[in-house]
Structure formats: C-alpha cells, structure tokens
Amino acid sequence: MSARPPETKTPDRARLANGRVALICVGVFAAMTGAAFASVPLYRAFCQATGFSGNVPKASKAAGQVLDQKLTVSFDTNVRGLPWNFAPEQLHQTIKIGETGLAFFTVTNTSEQPLTGHAVYNVTPLQAGTYFRKLQCFCFTDQTIQAHQTIRFPVVYFVDPGFARDGDTKAFTDVTLSYTFYPATPKTAASAPKPQQGLGGPAGAGL
C-alpha cells in the first residue's frame, strides 16, 4: 500500500488559515490589554508600597542611621491635563544617606475654578526607588486648589542606609525625584482634603 502524499494547501485555504490565526492573535491581545488596564490600580499600589519601577514607599519614621556617604537629589515636575504651574523651589539638594531632607514645591491654579489633582511620583535610576523614603508628601492624597491660588507643599524624605550596601545602587551619586500632576478622578476628588491656609489663600494641606 503506497503512502498517502502530503496534503497541499491551496492559496484560498492558506489565506483562510492565516486569517484564523490573525483573529486568534487579536483576541489574545485584546484580552491581555483589558487585563492590564484592569490591574493598573493594583499595580500602582504595589509599586508605591515596594519601590518597584522607581516608586517611593511611604515611611512611618526617620532612618536610624546617618552615613558619611552623600547623594545629590534632583527634583523634576510636570503637569498633564491641568492648567497648573508646578515647580520645585530647589533644583538639587545634597544630603547624607540616612539624613532627613526637606524640599518645597509650589503649585498655582491659573484657571477660573477650583480643580483637584493627584501627583504621581517616581525615582530614577529605578533601583534607587527601593531605598527612597517619604515621611511627608502632597502626593499621598488628592489636592484641591482654588482659582488663581498658589500652594507651597513640603516634602520630607530620606534615603535608607541600605542604599549604600546594595551592589546595584551603592555606586550612584545622583538620583532624581519626579512628580507629575494629573486631574483627579471624580471619586478620589470627592475625598480630597478640605482647603486650609497656604500661600495665596486657602490651600490643601498636602501632607
């Protein structure tokens, strides 16, 4: 009995098969994209809690040790989708690792109405985010700024001494702390702190 010759696909059948593969790929991609968007809040919370992807964990107390090794911290500010002027009062600070630093930022709402924003932050190089700690920051909560109002926000921070012992970070001499203000969602804006006294009139506490 002779062997059956292999079946050869005609051009039409080949195009049909390729079309099915393409549809399957599109479906898989759509499912993965939907899952990614659904997980954004969880991913952001994870990053901010662990320092993964350059995010800065919140600290409950200052470092217990101050080293002689120094680090230069640069500050970067951005705004997306808000008529706000946002800038650091200092471009750089040099601190000792473990030492508590204090930086100030100013935000002005140039519009004719109150607006609420939320600041997203990260540190570069990304590996440094694991050791960069904040004790006080306007980025912990949404901030409501009145029309034509300027607010001065403090940020209290330190770099954990583990930074100097980690092989991936101990050689770094410069890090950058970056903030970007985005419009707050209606749900989070409703829970923003009530205005208190600040530069230019009532201001969100931002602490």
* Cβ atoms of residues 154 and 102 within 8 Å: yes
Residue 171 pLDDT exceeds 60: yes
Strand partners, 176: 74, 124
Tell me the residue type at 37: F
Give CA–CA dist 108/153, Å, rounded.
11
More confident residue, 115 or 61: 115
If pLDDT is split at 50, 70 and 90, which confidence band does 63 have?
low
Question: Cα 110 to the chain's mean position, in Å?
Answer: 24
Q: Of 21-35, 58-72, 84-98, where does mean pLDDT reach its minimum?
A: 21-35
Residue 136 dihedral angles phi and psi, to the nearest 5° = -150, 130
The b-or-e profile of 15-49 (16+ CB within 10 A means b, else e) is eeeeeeeeeeeeeeeeeeeeeeeeeeeeeeeebbe
Q: Measured between alpha carbons, how far is 120 from 193 in angstroms, rounded to an integer?
A: 17
Average pLDDT of 27-41? 43
**Global pTM exceeds 0.95:** no
Q: Is 154 within 8 Å of 127 (Cβ atoms)?
A: no
Q: Give the pLDDT confidence of 111-157 residue by residue, as tens digits.
A: 999 999 999 999 999 999 999 999 999 999 999 999 999 999 999 99
Q: According to the model, what pLDDT value does residue 143 have?
A: 97
Q: What is d(CA 105, CA 139) in angstroms, rounded to the nearest whole number?
A: 11
Mean pLDDT of the chain: 76
CA angle 159, 160, 166 (to 5 degrees): 110
Q: Mean pLDDT throughout 44-69?
A: 59
pLDDT at 43: 41
In the predicted structure, residue 92 carries a pLDDT above the cut 70: yes
Mean pLDDT of 68-86: 98
Please give the pLDDT value at position 65: 85
36-48 pLDDT tens trace:
333 334 444 444 4
- Within a 13 Å sphere around the CA of 79, how many CA atoms are in the beta-carbon half? 15
- 35 vs 17, residue with greater confidence: 17
